[in-house]
């Protein structure tokens, strides 16, 4: 056996060591399915970590909007005395309480705005999950294709090595020439070079999943656990991207309504009591004061707030319309891709069957001396490519199903 023919087992061992090292570096459970990989990737995202705190903040704003005053009441305590200069016993103590009042309709609009903020937060998290699902799906199926190419390259090394051994025996027996031996060894070298390239591609594909803290175990993955074809084929309003923009539009509408109501600052109700003693020995007098502070407001500041809110509403509505058009086109393209992938898989299966039968014919003829080595090598290469194309076509169908589910807004299951 030549040194090149011995490289096949070494490449297989290096691949196994690489996968074992990746598993040893994994801190999380090894995902065996796309859904597990997606859930694990989402658990490591910043949006998922910050979601509970953001919900608490939104709930806090909703609670504040339910209060009876626009701002927390303010307690004021002050005292006055002339003891530092004349010390004639004059003294005054004032205790006051002020509270900002809601403008007419402002309280209900503020509550609606808080509700819209909570809805927008939930839809934004769902849209973030959907966008992450698209990236994980793409990386997942890229890894499957790379793994398939590596397995095919290993199988080709084994086949080419066995053929080289048969040729070597026949060369020793005088049935074949040294040129045939070189051709067989060259086929082994080509298979080993392809396996090395497949290994590099596999490492690059796995790195994309590692960026989310995932180290998949290729030996435990089952391509039969691919995503099921979606029943619904039409885009609806429950799509995460559309729901996010719809809630964003609703939030902008609530903000505009509130800005239109807040034409001036909130009035303040003031209640205070004063206890005063004019001089030492004289009785103290107590007074009560009830007042109302009404800010005059600023037309410029109100106009700026209302214009900003109106711009947010226009922007959200425009983005929603554009996203609806884009997603409809994406769904149609995904449906066409799935139909083409299924047709390609059927054609690849027929080709694999024909080339497999042709290889059997030529292999038998080669053993009987009725076919030369170049014909045998050519048929082996055609059969290998047909089998690999058939396997890749099967993955392409699963990948197209995932793309359609992604376009329809469905998360991995």
pLDDT of residue 27: 41
Domain assignment present for residue 395? The answer is yes
Give domain status of residue 302, yes or no.
yes
67 inside domain: yes
Examine residue 23 and state whether it is found in any structural domain, yes or no.
no
- CB 106 within 8 Å of CB 261: yes
Q: What's the CATH number where 63 sits? A: 1.20.1600.10
Q: Is 151 inside a domain boundary?
A: yes
Residue 22 within any structural domain of the chain = no
For residue 200, what are the domain limits? 7-15+32-407
Q: Is residue 308 part of a domain?
A: yes
pLDDT for the residue 361: 85
What's the confidence (pLDDT) of residue 29?
A: 47
Q: What is the pTM of this model?
A: 0.77
**Is residue 167 a part of any domain in this protein?**
yes
* Count: domains in the chain: 1
pLDDT digits (tens, 9 = 90+) for 67-105: 888 888 888 888 777 666 666 667 778 888 888 888 888
| Closest C-alpha among 271, 235, 209 to residue 37 | 209
| Per-residue pLDDT at 5 | 41
Supply the pLDDT for residue 1. Answer: 41
What's the average pLDDT block by block, 10 residues per block, for the chain (413 residues)? 40 40 43 82 88 88 86 84 64 85 87 90 93 92 88 87 84 82 85 88 84 68 66 81 93 89 84 76 77 78 84 91 93 93 93 88 80 81 88 91 92 87
- Give CA–CA dist 361/363, Å, rounded: 6
Can you give the pLDDT at residue 16?
Answer: 42
């Amino acid at each position: 056996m030549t040194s090149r023919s011995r490289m096949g087992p070494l490449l297989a061992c290096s691949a196994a060591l690489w996968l074992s090292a990746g598993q040893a570096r994994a801190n999380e459970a090894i995902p065996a399915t796309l859904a597990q990989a997606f859930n694990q990737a989402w658990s490591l995202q910043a949006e998922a970590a910050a979601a509970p705190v953001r919900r608490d903040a939104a709930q806090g704003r909703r609670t504040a909007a339910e209060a009876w005053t626009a701002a927390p009441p303010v307690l004021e305590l002050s005292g006055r005395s002339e003891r530092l200069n004349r010390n004639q016993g004059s003294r005054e103590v004032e205790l006051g309480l002020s509270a900002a009042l809601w403008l007419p309709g402002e309280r209900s609009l503020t509550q609606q705005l808080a509700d819209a903020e909570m809805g927008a937060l939930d839809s934004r998290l769902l849209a973030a999950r959907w966008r992450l699902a698209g990236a994980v799906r793409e990386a997942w199926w890229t890894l499957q294709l790379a793994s398939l190419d590596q397995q095919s390259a290993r199988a080709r090394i084994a086949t080419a090595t066995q053929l080289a051994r048969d040729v070597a025996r026949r060369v020793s027996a005088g049935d074949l020439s040294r040129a045939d031996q070189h051709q067989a060894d060259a086929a082994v070298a080509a298979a080993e070079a392809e396996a090395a390239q497949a290994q590099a591609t596999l490492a690059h594909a796995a790195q994309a999943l590692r960026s989310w803290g995932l180290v998949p175990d290729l030996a435990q993955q089952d391509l039969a656990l691919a995503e099921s074809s979606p029943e619904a084929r039409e885009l609806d309003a429950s799509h995460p991207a559309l729901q996010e923009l719809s809630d964003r539009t609703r939030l902008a509408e609530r903000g505009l309504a509130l800005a239109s109501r807040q034409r001036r600052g909130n009035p303040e109700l003031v209640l205070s009591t004063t206890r005063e003693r004019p001089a030492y020995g004289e009785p103290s007098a107590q007074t009560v004061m009830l007042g109302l502070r009404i800010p005059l407001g600023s037309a410029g500041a109100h106009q700026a707030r209302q214009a900003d809110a109106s711009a947010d509403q226009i922007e959200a509505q425009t983005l929603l319309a554009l996203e609806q058009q884009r997603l409809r086109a994406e769904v149609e393209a995904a449906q066409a891709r799935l139909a083409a992938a299924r047709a390609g898989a059927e054609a690849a299966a027929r080709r694999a069957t024909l080339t497999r039968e042709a290889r059997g014919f030529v292999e038998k003829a080669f053993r009987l001396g009725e076919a030369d080595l170049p014909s045998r090598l050519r048929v082996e290469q055609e059969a290998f490519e047909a089998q690999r194309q058939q396997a890749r076509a099967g993955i392409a169908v699963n990948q197209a199903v995932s793309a359609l589910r992604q376009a329809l807004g469905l998360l991995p299951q």
